[in-house]
Amino acid sequence: MEKYGYQFSFGPWNIHEGADPFGPTVRPSLAFDQKLETYKELGFDAVQFHDDDAVPDLDQLSPGQIGQAAGEMRKKLESFGLKAEFVAPRLWEHPDTIDGAFTSNNPRERQYAIDRAKKAADIGRELGTNLMVVWLAREGTYIREAKDAARATHQLLEALNQLLAYDPDLRIAVEPKPNEPMDLAYIPTIGHALALGFKTSAPERVGSLVESAHAILAGLDPSDEMAFALAFDKLFSVHLNDQNGLKFDQDRTFGAVDLRRAFNQVRVLEDNKFFNKGMVGLDVKAMRTQPAELATKHLRNSMLVFLRLVEIARSIDRELIQELIDARDYEELDWLLLTSLMG
């Protein structure tokens, strides 16, 4: 498969059992080794890890045990011809993160979150990656009066500074989302994420991860969010998927809802030579209706859509596009893009 210089990553959660808030699992679990084998067969290059994907039950382990388990995981990845793209601390399931992790009103809970994130940095180092993704899942509130938003922003800044000081090689990609699981998020967009990063003690080591669906949930176009981050050289990674309106986070197959929107994401990545800067991460989930033996087609389809859109972006007549822009004939430009996408 020709990948045009891009490398692709996946999360173990992208092959899942199909449970949703209103129904139980509908597919059997797949062993981790089977997931690695499946992803490698599909053409993926790297794994996106939550900390406890790499080291289960890490809160009950000593630093030495964590290091040993992470080292064993690295050997397993290498045996499949894979590598780690990043490690993300899972700061949204533990009881101490119910009311926020870094922004909890309880100082003991805030310290738990910082300590947990430091363990994630240790795991990443053992896995061979210095990139940490910080999804601020519960950094917000259900009612505005419950927290001081300005104080919470300073708490986020202090947490990032502690992580940067803990590991001088660590790079942090802040992943924003406007809502879900918290109703009112403090870092809802890439602009918020970059502003936070620029105020840290090491802004050169703090960037962002743009997820398509998260941008859509904020009422924004993912390609604009990516372009904004790229303008500051702050797009460290992406989570490509699609989203059907301002609903819950759907993680649909990339391009399945809006192919034009998907094309513009690819166009922005292409124009800024993202293949030299980071990996293309997919964060997609199979529809609940898929039988177990057919529950990886969303991954195959997302990668193939991306690569087909790369072909279109590279083959489209750029001189003609510039002529139409100079003539301000945007109707003809619109038609050119539509016919290119229709084939």
**Catalytic residue set:** 50, 53
Per-residue tokens: 201: 């003690």
Beta-carbon contacts of 92 under 8 Å, excluding residues fewer than 6 positions away, are 101, 135, 137, 138, 181
Q: Which of 303, 274, 299 is nearest to 284 (CA)?
A: 299
Rounded CA-CA distance 170/131 in Å is 6
Rounded CA-CA distance 249/180 in Å is 8
Q: Which of 55, 90, 62, 61 is nearest to 76 (CA)?
A: 55
Radius of gyration of the chain from its Cα atoms, rounded to whole angstroms? 20
Burial pattern 5-26, b for ≥16 Cβ within 10 A else e, equals ebebbbbbebbbebeeeeeeee
DSSP string, 295-338: TTHHHHHHHHHHHHHHHHHHHS-HHHHHHHHHTT-HHHHHHHHH
